[in-house]
Chain A
Amino acid sequence: MSDYSYYPGCSLKGTGRPYDESMQAVFAALGLGLDELDDWNCCGATAYMAIDEVQAVALAGRNLALAAATGNDVVAPCNACWLVLTKTQGKLGDDVALRDIVCGALGATCTAVNGDGPQPLRIDRDVAVRHPLDVLINDLGVDALGEAVTRPLDGLKVTPYYGCQIVRPLATFDDQADPQTMDRLLAAVGCEVVDNPYKTRCCGASQMMIMPDVGIDLVSLLIADAVARGAEAIAVACPLCQFNLEGYQRKALKEAGLEQSIPILYFTQLLGLALGLDPKRLGLHRSFVPVDSILGRRAAHV
């Protein structure tokens, strides 16, 4: 398998640390090379777009230039980073005037970080921006995943929660209305997939930090629905979704009139467990909601 460049994004160094840890552990275990992009900068997420459109494109554009230089596809686990980078690539491709300004500015102000002496940064090729779900299901394949599983999760009922940014407005690697990549991954590692109609409904993103009442409302709806359908855990793909669903769960449960907490795990953590990896390597000790019940559901070594 070819190597991938790795764009963790700011959240994965903070609240999303378990995602970073489990990503690296899982990719290593599967023999997929992951090379962290040197000196990557913040993608701007949704916040910078509220300040200035063209600057936001330049901000994300620098990362595309860095990735272009490596020659690899770049994997961005955070949904928002994935969308920003993908959209930015599209915008630079469609809007000639925008491309001239941004690429011109890049070349004039920024330099490449490797090589013999500083070279001006250029986006000289189309960079494939990949989400780990895309890589695992479409590059590696469900069959290969299944074969690598040594400790399948014993029918653990998991609801896949994709969030919004990896299916809207662009759905490049999965179905927009009813995505299936995470469903398939979860099934491949032994989970019983609990389907739900909210799998792409917004978790509230940064509203939780700013307007907690609003955030709690959105999150409690998602949790209540998953619980009502019998889920024992919710699998997520984005650090902000994860934090929203887990970080304020007590309040959300109270709002929903529920008592029992529910673990919110990255799909990479569930995959890692099924691959037989040590839970600590997967950042599971950082969960706010106890995950012992999950650990106990792993089959003995197969």
Chain B
Amino acid sequence: MSDPHAGNGTPRIGVYVCHCGTNIAGTIDVVAAAEQAAEIPGVVLSRDYKYMCSDPGQELIKDDIEEHRLDRVIVASCSPCLHEETFRNAVAAGGMNPYLFQMVNIREHDSWVHRDPEAATSKAMHLIRAAVRRVRLHTPLEARRVPINPAVMVVGGGIAGIHAALTLANAGKQVYLVEREPSIGGHMAMFDKTFPTLDCAACILTPKMTQVRAHPNIKVWTMSEVTEVDGYVGSYEVTVRHEPRFIIEDACVGCLECIDACVYRSGKTPDEFNLGLSKRKPIYIPFPQAVPQVVVIDPDACIEFRTGKCKKTCVEVCADRNAIDFQQTESFDTVEVGAIIVATGFKTFDPIRTPQYGYGRYSNVYTALEVERLVNASGPTEGHVVMRDGSTPKSIGVIHCVGSRDRNTNRYCSRVCCMYSLKLSHLLQEKTDAEIYEFYIDMRTPGKDFEEFYNRVEEEGVHLIRGKVAQVRPEPNGDGRLILQAEDTLAGMVREIPVDMVVLATGLEPQADAEDVRRTFNITCAGGGFFMERHPKLAPVSTFTDGVFLAGACQGPKDIPDTVAQAGAAAAEALALVDAGFIELEPNTAYVSAEDCSGCKTCSDLCPFHAISFVDAKAVINEVLCKGCGTCVAACPSGAIHQNLFEDDEIFAEIVGVLADA
């Protein structure tokens, strides 16, 4: 877009001073300001107007450019964060290069923070003078367009990742779904029933898992992790490492006969999916509905790996399918994608850190997730509530807020525990008819149908005691019962209640490697260590790294409905990004004058976006990665780096203008 107005002797500057209703005009004399602005050399047109951002206001700019042959425009109004783009577009509509425009903030920086009208108006004038001097020196710039690769990578194969992947794949995009465990499904695959509907988790999840497996647009990589992310939004180069499962995936049909045939008659290794409540063999499948439907070999437990001298009955029984490959090694794949959705989920709080509850010390103290496995029909006890000591509880205590709402562990509320505690109470009572006591601090059941669920559980006769349990201790008579001591604050008395089984409602935490993962994707952690969204209210799925989105509990504790909603949102935003076909980059990037560059490399380490590299010992800035933060510009000892829209002479002009009285 060439500009016939640029650099043609004395610029013709148009100044617009906005009233913004009374927001600005209430303190600043905008009429006088416009009148004074007209006196500044170079200003050929100066107006005040009620609402510059309105359609008529923008039309005004457009028409004035054409009518008065303006070649620079200044709007003195609100913050550029709000309307810089609006006015740049208006200027462009008028046929002028949008970067010959400068905005002056006389609202957030002036009328909203000062009360004295005279002083405020005077300040506005100084700011306008500064802008006039500066804008004279602006040169026309072009926003660069970069093509976008339409493929998307989804990191994490829980319900968030699954839903995002399906949404994107259905929109015709190639999706890479990367999952660390041997199967997708995440934590949801471990649950029994989900609140508030008491839908069976596996029943609603597995159809989606099957869809993922069958979808032609989704490439599922399990036992895989992202090791490196290079590139930039629109063209990320992602390297994925595949941990060997010692099975040739395409050859395995999931018949599971190898597991039966294994020389181990029974499992000896704690089963991870059942949280150690049962044992598995060295060759195993995490759960029956696993996707992919392929077994895994654990090299630490397998005799062939440990001694090299196993009968290998598994290979025998696999026969002509020949799916077992003890020589399999790790492998890597590098793919190019336009956007990445991080959906790496959560881990549960380890109650070893709250020793007063006796977890790990007394065998009948369980975490909520362990109880999910107990009551699950495909769990270690086939859905019967049988404890570690073989007995069935007649009384159960459920303790809320374990590890949550506590400055000694995690300050935040984990959001889902009140609901899942009520759910577990309901399920446990259904299966055992036990007397159940729930100890809570506040009952948080805000979602759709959640209050009704709470009413239901209360009506079913579960004791709801408002008081945080102080101690779990064993009865002295060796009956194995545990005494829960807490103040029943509603009754105003301390109660000691002996129970057979204790269930700890442990909170949600970020995954243990969240810090490493965030570095890989160049995002941040905040608030409890969860990944940080761009804005907690208005941008909950994007991050400050363009092209990287968040979905699910990795961004903060949440339940399944919210997770699915967020995953859909992340998919939609990723789609919006890649479907545009290209992205337009703000031209406020830094650039190097090669002849002044001494190759000292001071700049490259400072760049937070890794945008600087060295070619023939001279610094080169990747325009697409550069965000225009200005760090390298300030740091360069030779003054060899400059920044578009923030040239030295432009800044000095502004300073002179601010200090000038006319």
- Report A-B touching, CB under 8 Å: yes
B residues 453-503 with Cβ under 8 Å of A? Answer: 471, 473-474, 476-477
Cβ–Cβ contact B356 & A229, under 8 A: no
Query: In the complex, what distance in Å separates the CA atom of A16 from the CA atom of B477?
Result: 33
A to B CB contacts below 8 Å, 12 in the list: A177-B355, A177-B356, A178-B355, A197-B471, A197-B473, A197-B474, A198-B473, A224-B476, A225-B476, A228-B476, A228-B477, A229-B476
Q: Which residues from chain B contact A229 at a C-beta distance below 8 Å?
A: 476
Give 1 or 0 for each of A208-224: 1 = CB within 8 Å of chain B CB: 00000000000000001
Q: Which residues from chain A contact B476 at a C-beta distance below 8 Å?
A: 224-225, 228-229
Query: In the complex, what distance in Å separates the CA atom of A172 from the CA atom of B476?
Result: 30
Considering the complex, give the chain B residue whose CB is closest to the CB of A227: B476
The smallest beta-carbon distance between B311 and chain A, in angstroms, is 46
Query: In the complex, what distance in Å separates the CA atom of A156 from the CA atom of B356?
Result: 28
Q: Which residues from chain B contact A177 at a C-beta distance below 8 Å?
A: 355-356
Q: Which residues from chain B contact A178 at a C-beta distance below 8 Å?
A: 355
Q: Which residues from chain A contact B356 at a C-beta distance below 8 Å?
A: 177
A residues 102-149 with Cβ under 8 Å of B? Answer: none
The interface of chain A, by Cβ under 8 A from chain B, is 177-178, 197-198, 224-225, 228-229
Give 1 or 0 for each of B338-355: 1 = CB within 8 Å of chain A CB: 000000000000000001
| Range, interface on chain B | under 10
Query: In the complex, what distance in Å separates the CA atom of A197 from the CA atom of B471?
Result: 9
Q: Which residues from chain A contact B477 at a C-beta distance below 8 Å?
A: 228
Considering the complex, give the chain B residue whose CB is closest to the CB of A178: B355
Query: In the complex, what distance in Å separates the CA atom of A85 from the CA atom of B477?
Result: 39
Considering the complex, give the chain A residue whose CB is closest to the CB of B362: A197
Closest 4 CB pairs of A and B: A197-B473, A228-B476, A177-B355, A225-B476
Q: Which residues from chain B contact A225 at a C-beta distance below 8 Å?
A: 476
Considering the complex, give the chain B residue whose CB is closest to the CB of A176: B355
The smallest beta-carbon distance between B566 and chain A, in angstroms, is 38
Query: In the complex, what distance in Å separates the CA atom of A178 from the CA atom of B362?
Result: 13
Q: Which residues from chain A contact B355 at a C-beta distance below 8 Å?
A: 177-178
Query: In the complex, what distance in Å separates the CA atom of A177 from the CA atom of B473?
Result: 12
Considering the complex, give the chain B residue whose CB is closest to the CB of A229: B476
* Among A177, A197, A229: residue with most chain B CB under 10 A: A197
Considering the complex, give the chain A residue whose CB is closest to the CB of B483: A197
The smallest beta-carbon distance between B350 and chain A, in angstroms, is 15
Query: In the complex, what distance in Å separates the CA atom of A229 from the CA atom of B479?
Result: 12
* Among A177, A228, A229: residue with most chain B CB under 10 A: A177
Query: In the complex, what distance in Å separates the CA atom of A276 from the CA atom of B355?
Result: 38
- Known pairs A177-B355, A197-B473, A228-B476 / 9 extra A-B pairs, C-beta < 8 Å: A177-B356, A178-B355, A197-B471, A197-B474, A198-B473, A224-B476, A225-B476, A228-B477, A229-B476
The smallest beta-carbon distance between B553 and chain A, in angstroms, is 29
Q: Which residues from chain B contact A224 at a C-beta distance below 8 Å?
A: 476
Considering the complex, give the chain A residue whose CB is closest to the CB of B355: A177
Query: In the complex, what distance in Å separates the CA atom of A178 from the CA atom of B477?
Result: 21
The smallest beta-carbon distance between B532 and chain A, in angstroms, is 33
The smallest beta-carbon distance between B202 and chain A, in angstroms, is 38
Query: In the complex, what distance in Å separates the CA atom of A190 from the CA atom of B356?
Result: 29
Query: In the complex, what distance in Å separates the CA atom of A228 from the CA atom of B474?
Result: 12
The smallest beta-carbon distance between A164 and chain B, in angstroms, is 13
Query: In the complex, what distance in Å separates the CA atom of A197 from the CA atom of B356?
Result: 10
Considering the complex, give the chain A residue whose CB is closest to the CB of B356: A177
Considering the complex, give the chain A residue whose CB is closest to the CB of B358: A197
